[in-house]
Amino acid sequence: GAVVSQHPSRVICKSGTSVKIECRSLDFQATTMFWYRQFPKQSLMLMATSNEGSKATYEQGVEKDKFLINHASLTLSTLTVTSAHPEDSSFYICSANSMGQETQYFGPGTRLLVL
């Protein structure tokens, strides 16, 4: 099946710094990518939907200036957590699909710890 990778798999950073997470579709063109956040013992929560070449659509309550999403190509989307704070510590997961396709392919996730 199709493969989606994320980098890094885990990252520890100091409060106030910015962290960039990459999501890549390795063998298909991802017209849409979704970014999720998952807190311990909770389900995935959609943060934003990103279509290649256009601005991301953010879910209610998600600050677009804090979580910058760029989807400049059909194989790469990035999520930048700006001025990270300890409460941003979470597991971030991306998924991707191709135009008109139902199947979503999930990345392995990135665990962020902000000290």
Partner 1 sequence: KNEVEQSPQNLTAQEGEFITINCSYSVGISALHWLQQHPGGGIVSLFMLSSGKKKHGRLIATINIQEKHSSLHITASHPRDSAVYICAVGFTSGSRLTFGEGTQLTVNP
Number of CB atoms found within 10 A of residue 5's CB: 13
Residues that bind partner 1 (CB under 8 A): 1, 32, 34, 38, 42-44, 46, 49, 91, 93, 95, 97, 99-109, 111
**Entry field: residues in the chain:** 115
Is 19 or 93 the residue whose CB approaches partner 1 more closely?
A: 93
Contact in structure between 31 and 74 (CB atoms under 8 Å): yes
33: enclosing H helix or E strand: strand 32-38
Is 75 or 107 the residue whose CB approaches partner 1 more closely?
A: 107
Minimal distance, residue 106 CB to partner 1, in Å: 4
DSSP code for 51 = E
Using CA atoms, how far apart are residues 63 and 5, in angstroms rounded to an integer? 25
Minimal distance, residue 16 CB to partner 1, in Å: 25
Is 82 or 101 the residue whose CB approaches partner 1 more closely?
A: 101
Minimal distance, residue 104 CB to partner 1, in Å: 6
Using CA atoms, how far apart are residues 110 and 48, in angstroms rounded to an integer? 16
Is 69 or 107 the residue whose CB approaches partner 1 more closely?
A: 107
